[in-house]
A and B are shown apart, each in its own frame.
Chain A
């Protein structure tokens, strides 16, 4: 999603979100990630100034204090950024890939089912298709990507071929390297 992203050139508009809209976004995010409930006041403090940064290719970023917290495509699901996920690793659904998949993911490849079902991999939760997941790796503490399941975890286990999780945002991609400055 961010392969050609360039924060310096791609920002179209940037606006302070009105508090009513902010409440709206907040409840949408909570609907999506109910485990975020306990920490939402820290993630999106009620009185913080939330900015909506609209970029080309219909990418929207939500920022607080110049930190990108969430992004979305059109007005679809809100994805957490990896830095946010690193801070709250348990607030989002997760999957784990085996060690061999790390290198491919870091070069932007989607995650194939075998990488999610082999020995070092783990899928502890039953998740439906189109779930946003943090992608962790065998032997690593921190997540290395944010993905979107292309099939349910059950299908990933049973079918065990083709793309299981789409790679949306990964360490060192252009979004990772972006920093928003005023």
Chain B
């Protein structure tokens, strides 16, 4: 084991020969292949925001025009069934996206007694996040207990021992860039005063 620990740091190769490839944040392909997926519009939005130079390269006016011509040429022989299927798929993805946009992640700090509290996170699963893995990563990030539990509505949520709500907020944004900041809600729940 110890031998492995020593070997883990990456050797000091300062100049890497590997080509840096940008992958689309929406469909995971190299952006030049986004046009073959069903999420082209979302892909374009993402690319314009994150890599505008590449966006200009791929979708500049001239390219677009020639693409349009190609498209209209290609479109004719393509049968309706395929178009419909594609539209359906796009609509489905769109719906899922909207659902994602509408769903919230709630971080709640619950006071257990004067000095101790637990942090409760629910809604992570709406963003296709594996709860078990997330719980584990929280545990190692914040060095505390963290587990997946079912709440009284029957939904899974993560309970973390200790007050980590602020750090957690940042950590979620950092770890899952798909999650919009506006969708995370911080709540404080105080025990009713005696």
Contact status A142-B32, CB under 8 Å? yes
A29 on the B face (CB < 8 A): no
Contact status B4-A49, CB under 8 Å? yes
Please provide the chain B residues from 5 to 42 with a CB less than 8 Å away from any CB of chain A in the complex. 7-8, 10-11, 13, 16-19, 21, 27-30, 32-33, 36-37
Contact status A42-B16, CB under 8 Å? yes
Contact status A171-B16, CB under 8 Å? no
Please provide the chain B residues from 136 to 164 with a CB less than 8 Å away from any CB of chain A in the complex. none
Expressed in whole angstroms, the Cα–Cα distance for A6 and B21 within the complex equals 25
Expressed in whole angstroms, the Cα–Cα distance for A102 and B8 within the complex equals 40
Expressed in whole angstroms, the Cα–Cα distance for A49 and B11 within the complex equals 13
A86 on the B face (CB < 8 A): yes
A48 on the B face (CB < 8 A): yes
Chain A residues within an 8 Å CB radius of B133? 181
Expressed in whole angstroms, the Cα–Cα distance for A144 and B32 within the complex equals 10
- Which residue of chain B is the closest to A45 with respect to CB atoms? B11
B4, B13, B21: the one within 8 Å of A142 (CB): B21
Chain A residues within an 8 Å CB radius of B18? 39, 42, 87-88
Interface range for A? 20 to 34
Contact status B28-A176, CB under 8 Å? yes
Q: Give chain B nearest CB distance to A30 CB in angstroms.
A: 16
Expressed in whole angstroms, the Cα–Cα distance for A106 and B35 within the complex equals 11
A47 on the B face (CB < 8 A): yes
B8, B17, B19, B28: the one within 8 Å of A86 (CB): B19
Chain A residues within an 8 Å CB radius of B17? 38-39, 42, 88
Contact status B32-A141, CB under 8 Å? yes
A172 on the B face (CB < 8 A): yes
Contact status A47-B7, CB under 8 Å? yes
Chain B residues within an 8 Å CB radius of A4? none
B7, B21, B36, B37: the one within 8 Å of A48 (CB): B7
Q: Give chain A nearest CB distance to B34 CB in angstroms.
A: 11
Chain B residues within an 8 Å CB radius of A181? 133
- Which residue of chain A is the closest to B33 with respect to CB atoms? A171
Contact status A88-B19, CB under 8 Å? yes
Q: Give chain A nearest CB distance to B83 CB in angstroms.
A: 14
B7, B13, B32: the one within 8 Å of A49 (CB): B7
Q: Give chain B nearest CB distance to A154 CB in angstroms.
A: 30
A39, A45, A47, A86: the one within 8 Å of B21 (CB): A86
B-contact 0/1 string along A39-65, CB 8 Å cutoff: 101100101110000000000000000
Chain B residues within an 8 Å CB radius of A176? 28
A119 on the B face (CB < 8 A): no
Expressed in whole angstroms, the Cα–Cα distance for A170 and B29 within the complex equals 10
Expressed in whole angstroms, the Cα–Cα distance for A48 and B9 within the complex equals 9
A residues apposed to B, CB below 8 Å = 38-39, 41-42, 45, 47-49, 83, 86-89, 102-103, 106, 140-142, 144, 171-172, 176-177, 181
B residues apposed to A, CB below 8 Å = 4, 7-8, 10-11, 13, 16-19, 21, 27-30, 32-33, 36-37, 133
6 contacts between A and B (CB under 8 A): A39-B18, A45-B10, A45-B11, A83-B21, A88-B19, A172-B37
Extra 9 A-B pairs, beta carbons < 8 Å, given A140-B30, A140-B33, A171-B29: A42-B16, A42-B17, A49-B4, A83-B21, A87-B18, A88-B18, A102-B36, A141-B32, A142-B21
